[in-house]
Amino acid sequence: MSKPETPQKAPYVEDLEPGVYAWCSCGKSTKQPYCDGSHKGTDFSPVIEKLTEAKKVAWCGCKQTGGKPYCDGSHAKL
């Protein structure tokens, strides 16, 4: 499997409403941290996350997290 691109070495922190979100796992999306279909033709696919309540979310920005789609601090090792 190929390695994802790293769009930024920090999380994308957002206050979100309940809903379904598609987190970009390849790092190629122009709509980070969300999928825009740029993964087509790669080994990657988006991670679908359903939020049932409003909350603050720290999406992984480096795409190296072990807890996809959330930041686990892996960017500190890059």
Tokens 């499997």 identify what position?
1
pLDDT of residue 67: 96
Structure tokens at 66: 């072990």
Tens digit of pLDDT for each residue in 4-54? 999 999 999 999 999 999 999 999 999 999 999 999 999 999 999 999 999
pLDDT of residue 18: 98
For residue 7, cis peptide bond before it (omega within 30 degrees of 0): no
Global confidence as pTM? 0.94
pLDDT of residue 75: 97
Q: Are strands 55-59 and 12-16 parallel, antiparallel or unpaired?
A: antiparallel
Task: Return the bridge partners of 57, or none.
Answer: 14
d(CA 1, CA 60): 19
Under the banding of pLDDT at 50, 70 and 90, the label for residue 58 is very high
